[in-house]
Structure 1
Amino acid sequence: MKISQFSFTISLLFFTFCTLAQVQETKTANLMGSVFQITIVDKDSSSARENIQKTIDEIERIENLISEWRPETQISQVNHNAGIKPVKVDREVFEITKKGILFSKITNGAFDISIVAMDRIWIFDDSMEKLPSKKSIKKSVENVNYKNIVLDSINSTIYLSKKGMKIGFGSIGKGYAADKGRQLMQSLGIKGGIINAAGDISTWGTQLDGQPWKIGVNNPFETGETIAVLAFSTDKAVTTSGTYEKYAEIDGKRYSHIINPKTGFPSMGITSVTIIGENAEMCNGFSTSILVLGLKKGLNLIKKYPEYEYVILTNEGSVIRNF
């Protein structure tokens, strides 16, 4: 009887040890034209590698639905049939398009998924020496207007009513992919992880040692310094949109690569916008929109959504935050 009890005790201790013996694994992959970094806390290295690959497969699945660069995707088919006919799409594609149009409506067009149809008259490789003409700027956005995107919810179709139009999800697609990766991992029982989709970050749970995930918001005016450090131990997302990495400098003035889809002119006044919320897709929509809207209108927008926090860095170096 004593031997039996002893065996049971050893088995129980072994089971407990195996349950607690977890690992934290990270992998970097080129996905959706950007660098993704995926970190998860799992029971062992083999399981972690397998689950990270499942996350990569999920992100690639999304890219194969919404990429405007791959000719076989549903979004490419929508663009190809602009001004011709509606295209039936998966419900998932329909819903992300619907979300893009929602942002267009609440920002009065400062955010617009049809901006991918804009003529590329601005060049951000240091070769641009003078501003485009007012006429060319005006003409560049002729095919940009979210109001010409026609959704049919019953038939799950998307129709671009003007020939030459295109839609794309460069602004919210990576955040959406990060959120879907997190959702998949949670459904498989992974208790903690962080997916960094080229700056669109989705987190859940904690690190292996129980510490929260920590994310620094860079200060582009001071190399190596941060303007805020964020710590998350629950489902959270954070995205940063900035004007400081890609820009054209003409006559001593910087013009950012973030273009106002209504005017065709680069956004001005704000250096970076960081948004914190529950999902990266929404956060990215807000961060991009605020850059385009400018400080006053941008603050007016985000204050209508108190569940989202923000860190805004102005061109003068002022930091505005609500946490």
Structure 2
Amino acid sequence: MRRGSNKGRRARRMLDRRGMGGIVRSAFAAALAEREASPGYYLVLGRQAMACQFQIFLRPRDGSFVPAVHEALNEIDRLERQMTVYRDDSEICLLNRTAFACPVPVEERLYGLLRRAHEIGRQTQGAFDITAGPLIRCWGFLERKGRIPGEEELDSARAVTGWDKVLFDDGNHSVRFLRSGVELNLGSIGKGYALDRAAELLRSAGLNDFMIHAGHSSIYASGNSNLGPGWEVSIRAPHAPGASLGTIRLVDEGMSTSGTGQQYFVVDGRKFGHLLDPRTGWPSRHNSLCSVTAPGAAQAEALSTAFFVMTPEAVRAYCDSHPEVGSILVAAHENAAVLVWGLSLKTGSDPEN
């Protein structure tokens, strides 16, 4: 993410850990006492959650909002406890264990997220599907130990994947599974949802200019940066480490990038990435990177996951029918064209505005 030119720019990172709130606030007060901050100077608080680093960028003049940032980070912690599949006491794990036996009431906001996930799954004709938990498990990606499942194991996982196995009760905000073995996994929308909730809390506290990201792959940008309207974000080049496809400017919107550059395993020279096509049960091999912009980070994350396993024609059709959504798609082969729909990608060859 761009923070201005490299010369004469300082970025001060202050990591918020439990028990260090007073230290961080004092450090922010000292930073604000400086007479003038350069355009690339931001105040940054972060926290480890959901297997990545969340960071919130503030303009120096907004240091008084540090307590609100702490509350936003605390909310991210709460959401991780609610949605993770790695804690037996999480609400999602409780749902996965008991929803076949009887309907399970779900917290109102989480229920709304499940409904949104269902709708995006319908819009993408099954390319996005949070019921793919059994597929993720049988490929070994849940334990981050990738393996090729046997045909019988894969067939069994496919048999309990799909929204037709889930029954919603909007009146009671409850969920019931119609097959034993159904398993929800929110890993393809949860980080974006946490960003949206954090942004909601920051805005309710009166903060309008900020950028927040989850491991750099999911972002929500609000208001203005030090450099002007919006926040300029670089899109990495999938086939050239350290290189960039260009930059886009985010204004009151979310962005998510999906790719298999870090999570994959290799068998007999063949690469198997962690992004599975829930319609086939196999890792997608068509694309190497997909970035999506949307009004919210949860929507962007879900769609970048779906678009990654979709054809370029299907992605273009979706963006054409949803003008609030933009996408960048790069195919898996090294000389693939960069396909762009619904957004402005500024490359190094573009003239300065």
Range of TM-score over shorter length: 0.7 to 0.9
**Cα shift at 1:43:** 4.2
Retained in 1: the 8 A contact 2:221–2:230? no
Distance 1:117 1:62 in 2: 22
Distance 2:139 2:186 in 1: 20
Provide TM-score, normalisation by structure 2.
0.78
Which residue in the other structure is 2:10 paired with?
Answer: none
Is the aligned partner of 1:39 residue 2:57? yes
SS in 2 for 1:303: helix
CA gap of 1:32–1:42, structure 2 versus 1, over 3 A, is same
SS in 2 for 1:223: coil
**Cα shift at 1:310:** 1.1
Which residue in the other structure is 1:6 paired with?
Answer: none
Distance 1:73 1:188 in 2: 28
**Cα shift at 1:134:** 3.4
Which residue in the other structure is 2:337 paired with?
Answer: 318
Q: 1:292 aligns with which of 309, 325, 344?
A: 309
CA gap of 1:128–1:169, structure 2 versus 1, over 3 A, is closer
Is the aligned partner of 1:228 residue 2:270? no
**Cα shift at 1:123:** 4.8
Which residue in the other structure is 2:18 paired with?
Answer: none
**RMSD (Å), alpha carbons:** 2.6
SS in 2 for 1:238: strand
Q: 2:86 aligns with which of 69, 77, 85?
A: 69
**Cα shift at 1:132:** 4.0
Gaps of 5+ in 2: 1-32, 345-353
Retained in 2: the 8 A contact 1:82–1:162? no
Distance 1:119 1:51 in 2: 36
**Cα shift at 1:58:** 1.6
Query: What are the residue-to-residue correspondences of 1:99-114 with 2, within 5 Å?
Result: 99-114=116-131
Which residue in the other structure is 1:202 paired with?
Answer: 220
**Cα shift at 1:126:** 11
Distance 1:64 1:136 in 2: 30
Distance 1:67 1:122 in 2: 19
1:17-62 Cα distance to aligned partner (Å, 9 max, x none)? x9x98984102211122211111236464x3432221110121222
Q: Which amino acid in 1 is paired with 2:45?
A: K
Which residue in the other structure is 1:281 paired with?
Answer: 298
**Cα shift at 1:272:** 0.5
Q: Which amino acid in 2 is paired with 1:227?
A: L
Greater mean deviation of Cα atoms: 49-58 or 145-154: 49-58
Which residue in the other structure is 1:116 paired with?
Answer: 133
Retained in 2: the 8 A contact 1:217–1:226? yes
CA gap of 1:33–1:223, structure 2 versus 1, over 3 A, is closer
CA gap of 1:190–1:41, structure 2 versus 1, over 3 A, is farther
Q: Which amino acid in 1 is paired with 2:52?
A: S
Distance 1:64 1:178 in 2: 15
Distance 1:293 1:313 in 2: 12
CA gap of 1:252–1:294, structure 2 versus 1, over 3 A, is farther
CA gap of 1:310–1:159, structure 2 versus 1, over 3 A, is same
Distance 2:67 2:136 in 1: 42
SS in 2 for 1:222: coil
1:151-205 Cα distance to aligned partner (Å, 9 max, x none)? 1011111112211111121111110110111111111111211110121100101
Q: 2:44 aligns with which of 15, 22, 26?
A: 26
For the pair shown, which has the larger CA radius of gyration, 1 or 2? 1
Provide TM-score, normalisation by structure 1.
0.85
Greater mean deviation of Cα atoms: 70-79 or 310-319: 70-79
1:70-128 Cα distance to aligned partner (Å, 9 max, x none)? 33332222111032001112211110000111122112222111111236343579987
Query: What are the residue-to-residue correspondences of 1:160-199 with 2, within 5 Å?
Result: 160-198=177-215, 199=217
Distance 2:126 2:145 in 1: 30
Gaps of 5+ in 1: 1-17
Retained in 1: the 8 A contact 2:276–2:282? yes
Greater mean deviation of Cα atoms: 245-254 or 312-321: 245-254
> Percent of aligned positions with the same letter in both sequences?
24
Distance 1:179 1:72 in 2: 24
Retained in 2: the 8 A contact 1:151–1:158? yes
CA gap of 1:44–1:239, structure 2 versus 1, over 3 A, is closer
